Amino acid sequence: MSRPGGAKLVFKGDGNYRDWQAFASRGLYAFDFHDVHRSSTDKRQGYDLIYRPEQPIMAGDLPENVRTALMVLPVVFGEGNLVSASLLGPE
């Protein structure tokens, strides 16, 4: 699943996001749950986009065994910077 390409940092928080950059450089949208670091009034109830791939990989580009193991979410990853935690089901 190697795919040369760059990645654009989207998230504006403190931290080391090299792992997320590496994922995005391979074509994946890299999200993380940052609510654990936020005050109760600032929680977003979702996963923040950390890095956006310059060349996104499409599900059809993945090996079949990987495609069949993925959870399908009703999300278009290139459209927003937050994926609601409620899409993953109850806590």
| Structural domain includes residue 82 | yes
Distances in whole angstroms, Cα of residue 46 to Cα of each of 50, 59, 78: 12, 22, 16
Domain count, the chain: 1
**What is the per-residue pLDDT for 36?**
56
Q: What is the value of pTM for the model shown?
A: 0.76
Residue 2 lies in a domain: no
Q: Flag whether pLDDT at 81 surpasses 90.
A: no
Give the range of the structural domain holding residue 61, as residue numbers without chain letter. Answer: 7-88
pLDDT tens digits, 16-72: 889 989 999 999 999 887 655 666 777 667 788 989 999 999 888 989 999 889 877
H or E element in which residue 47 lies: strand 46-53
User: Residue 8: pLDDT above 90?
Assistant: yes
